[in-house]
Structure 1
Amino acid sequence: MHEHAYGPSETGSVVLDLGGDTGALIVYTGRDLHGREIEISRGDDRRVHSAVRERRVRDGVLHSAVYPDLPGGRYTVWWDESTPAGTVSVHGGSIAEFTWSSRGFGAKA
């Protein structure tokens, strides 16, 4: 697990290029994971990571890791090096969501 100190991300500062077989994933977390890098992988593909950042949006503040430009498929979200937190399907042209919380994990349909 890696951690970094990133400033907040303002509304409209993340651009997602969706279409064809390309989608995106947002992993929502609590404030306690701010700066933590969360890894994901598709099948046997190598893992990629994204840092949890504070996101200031129209309706308030949330914490999330954003994975843009993902090929469609089933992804594993990793809790640590060897423990999966769960799986989520990414579809081309859309944004998949996964909720990571102290009460449990799960994909939003």
Structure 2
Amino acid sequence: MPFKELARIDKLVHEPARLAILNALAACHVAEFLFLQELTGLTKGNLSCHLSKLEKANLVSIDKHFVRKKIPQTTVRITPEGRAAVENYWKNLDRIRSEIENLKN
């Protein structure tokens, strides 16, 4: 049943803020923390918390460094595992949606 599958969808990716982060990162090579914050509308603390969860699951990699030895900069990139998770998420969601549509007919 598609409804049971929907209840079992990957919750790490499905959470709206993390889904926005992963899709933004899937569309670019690397993103700066402040750019992701602006793009998603999340607070610094909220974005940091979601990125930590994604990093712990190896879906993103985070690099903290200094620009001109003074300005701290955090960059984030999606890992191959993260890219696969996003692709699988959308594939599964499309399949489930299609199965639900077929039940209507």
Q: Hey, which of these two has a bigger chunk of helix by percent?
A: 2
Structure exhibiting the larger radius of gyration computed from Cα positions: 2
Name the TM-score, length of structure 1 as normaliser: 0.22
- Could you state the TM-score of these two structures normalised by the residue count of structure 2? 0.22
